[in-house]
Structure 1
Amino acid sequence: MKGALTFGCCLLNLSAFAQPGIAEMQQAKSDLTNDFFSVFDFSLVMATLLGLNGAIKIYHNWQMGKDRIDADVAAWFFAAFFMIIAGAFLRALFGI
């Protein structure tokens, strides 16, 4: 039992030397920064297209005389608000 425990501790000690260095961490941050901004720009374009689609849907329902469009307007507004907050949250989370 003691031999297995000693062997396990030796393996843990060896795995500590296999951690990535500072150069690899800088490269990962650089890759994340480049990918994040392209994905972030794509999400803004998609949010714009979906927002326009929602606005046209609400306008159509309003013109057709639908009585209760308040829920649709609120859902449309909070979806847009969520997209803005999500972008700021992701920037703060990744430190970009």
Structure 2
Amino acid sequence: MKKTFKTLYAGFILSLIGLSAYAQDGNAGINEATTQVKSYFSTGTNLMYAIGAIVGLVGAIKVYKKWNDGEHDTGKVASSWFGSCIFLVVVATVLKSFFGV
């Protein structure tokens, strides 16, 4: 029983030593994470622009179909699709200007 306890205790101490070695360079890790997030940010905003374009095209097709079918809620559908498309573009633009990337 004592041997098992000593083994567990030694493993625990070695784990703490290993964790403290990783924790000592916290600033470098945070800086590296910041650099990685900034490198993905431009791609993410371009993806939001692309999604906005696709949403706009799908919305335009749906509104056109409703308009040709003579449905009465065409204006409501058009405003909702147009609003969602504008929202995606505005959010991407604001985030890009806010974070200065």
Which TM-score band (shorter chain)?
0.5 to 0.7
1:87 matched to 2:96: no
The residue that corresponds to 2:62 in the other structure is: 57
Q: How does 1:10-89 map to 2 (within 5 A)?
A: 18=24, 20-21=26-27, 23-89=28-94
- TM-score normalised by structure 2 residue count: 0.64
TM-superposition CA deviations, 1:42-92 (whole Å, max 9, x none) = 222122112101100000110111123111111012112211221123221
State percent identity of aligned pairs.
Answer: 23
Task: Give 1 or 2: higher helix fraction.
Answer: 2
Length, aligned pairs only: 79
CA distance, structure 1, for counterparts of residue 54 and residue 85 of structure 2: 11
The structural deviation recorded for 1:18 is 4.4
Counterpart amino acid of 2:29? E
Counterpart amino acid of 1:49? I
CA distance, structure 2, for counterparts of residue 59 and residue 76 of structure 1: 12
Which protein has the larger Cα radius of gyration, Structure 1 or Structure 2? 2
CA distance, structure 2, for counterparts of residue 66 and residue 48 of structure 1: 25
CA distance, structure 2, for counterparts of residue 64 and residue 42 of structure 1: 33
Gapped regions of structure 1 (runs ≥ 5): 1-16
The structural deviation recorded for 1:19 is 6.6
Task: Between the two structures, name the one with larger relative contact order (CA 8 Å, sep ≥ 6).
Answer: 2
CA distance, structure 2, for counterparts of residue 19 and residue 78 of structure 1: 46
CA distance, structure 2, for counterparts of residue 50 and residue 81 of structure 1: 10
Counterpart amino acid of 1:83? L
Alignment CA distance shift 1:24-1:95 (3 Å): farther
